[in-house]
């Protein structure tokens, strides 16, 4: 029995619809395992701008800092997508949240449920068994270094900067995770060319001495991009810098077939934030067809990582697996073989998962 306080931050668009289902899953887990979960909600994104003029009001940030975990939806609204010059924007709320909460590690598990083998654009025989956990560094690198223009604006630069402690803290999390999995860690860099990558490799090599039970390989980012498509099952845990991770995790998301299936965790030393990788999906907002499985799988990550509830987390994942095995699909993952009666809306898909929990 554990007491935990969870902040639900739905944000915009289908974020509202999928986090509502995620909360029902949390309720069900609390009931089944005799935990006591309390909840609050907070505004972010367009919803927060409309209510307060600020994409991340101080009150929301304080609630995040005071909670044990955050279940996040998505931010975004067509109004801003069509107006790049808008000064106040929903995604500013997201970036500020990551910075203020010190979320330096982004975890993205890429696991293909067997039933969805045909939903990916990669051949099933190559994909079968793929199960990768990415650790992308989230608060350093070329995104946060000095940037600017010289030469009357005709030359531009972005400085990539890493310090040892930044590599060490995410490296340690990746090694720890590898220990609980197949004990393989692939550290991705470009150490043949970049100084930041040489520092990265030195630090990972140093950490490897502390984890002799974990098999470590160092791979260049270009060959990793190729191997992810050619032979995804060779990877277990992958750790990499912000820019490389940004690109490789989007590439790897295609292994799982659909945006509606992928969850992520952003963690640091304080409150962790758990969210689907998809956005607010204006095209399907309010239609009740959004796939809630990424939000449900985000709940599984939350239970495991922030609360150390491994059994509860595995139960949620196996309930999703069973629902898929029964042939139930939301519209985005249905194919020609799916019976019409098995194509479920957001709420019905949530109910199906709850039944198996």
Task: Give the footprint of ligand NAD on this chain (CB under 6 A).
Answer: 14, 18, 74-76, 81, 91, 94, 259-260, 278-284, 290-291, 294, 332
Q: Which residue bears the tokens 């270094």?
A: 145
**Minimum distance from residue 56 beta carbon to ligand NAD (Å):** 12
Question: 68, 131, 158, 246: which is the annotated catalytic residue?
Answer: 246
Residue 13 beta carbon to ligand NAD: minimum distance, rounded to whole angstroms: 7
Instruction: Tell me if residue 190 is catalytic.
Output: yes
Q: Is the separation of the CB atoms in 239 and 188 below 8 Å?
A: yes
165 token code pair: 């402690």
For 281-323, give the DSSP string. -GGGTTTT----HHHHHHHHHHHHHTT--HHHHHHHHHHHHHH
List 58, 114, 222, 269, catalytic entry: 222
Please report, to the nearest 10 degrees, the dihedral formed by the alpha carbons of residues 18, 235, 232, 314 taken in order.
Answer: -30
**φ and ψ of 84, to 5 deg:** -60, -15
Neighbours of 220 (CB within 10 A): 16
CB 34 → ligand NAD: shortest distance, Å? 31
Q: Shortest distance, CB of residue 94 to ligand NAD, whole angstroms?
A: 6
Residue 56 CA to residue 96 CA, distance in Å, equals 7
CB 44 within 8 A of CB 318: no
Separation of alpha carbons 41 and 178, rounded Å: 34
Catalytic residue numbers, as ranges: 143, 190, 222, 246, 250
């Amino acid at each position: 029995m554990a007491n935990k306080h969870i902040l639900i931050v739905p944000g915009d668009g289908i974020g509202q619809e999928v986090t509502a289902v995620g909360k029902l899953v949390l309720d069900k887990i609390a009931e089944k395992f005799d935990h006591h979960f309390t909840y609050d909600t907070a505004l972010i994104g367009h919803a927060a701008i409309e209510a307060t003029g600020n994409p991340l009001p101080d009150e929301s940030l304080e609630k995040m800092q005071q909670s044990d975990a955050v279940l996040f939806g998505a931010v975004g609204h067509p109004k801003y997508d069509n107006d790049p010059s808008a000064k106040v924007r929903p995604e500013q709320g997201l970036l500020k949240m990551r910075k203020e909460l010190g979320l330096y590690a982004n975890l993205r598990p890429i696991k293909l449920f067997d039933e969805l083998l045909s939903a990916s654009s990669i051949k099933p025989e190559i994909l079968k068994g793929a199960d990768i956990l990415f650790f992308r560094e989230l608060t350093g690198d070329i995104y946060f270094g000095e940037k600017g223009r010289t030469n009357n604006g005709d030359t531009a630069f972005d400085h990539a900067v890493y310090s040892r402690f930044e590599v060490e803290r995410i490296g340690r999390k990746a090694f720890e995770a590898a220990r609980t999995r197949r004990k393989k860690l692939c550290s991705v860099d470009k150490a043949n060319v970049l100084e930041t990558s040489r520092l990265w490799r030195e630090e990972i090599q140093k950490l490897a001495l502390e984890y002799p039970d974990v098999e470590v390989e160092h791979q260049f980012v270009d060959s990793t991009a190729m191997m992810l498509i050619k032979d995804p099952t060779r990877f277990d845990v992958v750790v990499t810098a912000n820019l490389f991770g940004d690109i490789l995790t989007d590439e790897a998301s295609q292994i799982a077939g659909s945006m509606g299936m992928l969850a992520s965790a952003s963690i640091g030393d304080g409150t962790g934030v758990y969210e689907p990788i998809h956005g607010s999906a204006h095209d399907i907002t309010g239609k009740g067809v959004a796939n809630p499985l990424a939000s449900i799988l985000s709940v599984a990550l939350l239970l495991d990582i922030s609360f150390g509830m491994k059994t509860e987390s595995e139960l949620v994942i196996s309930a999703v697996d069973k629902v898929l095995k029964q042939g139930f699909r939301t519209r985005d993952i249905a194919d020609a073989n799916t019976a019409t009666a098995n194509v479920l809306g957001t709420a019905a898909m949530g109910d199906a998962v709850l039944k198996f929990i």
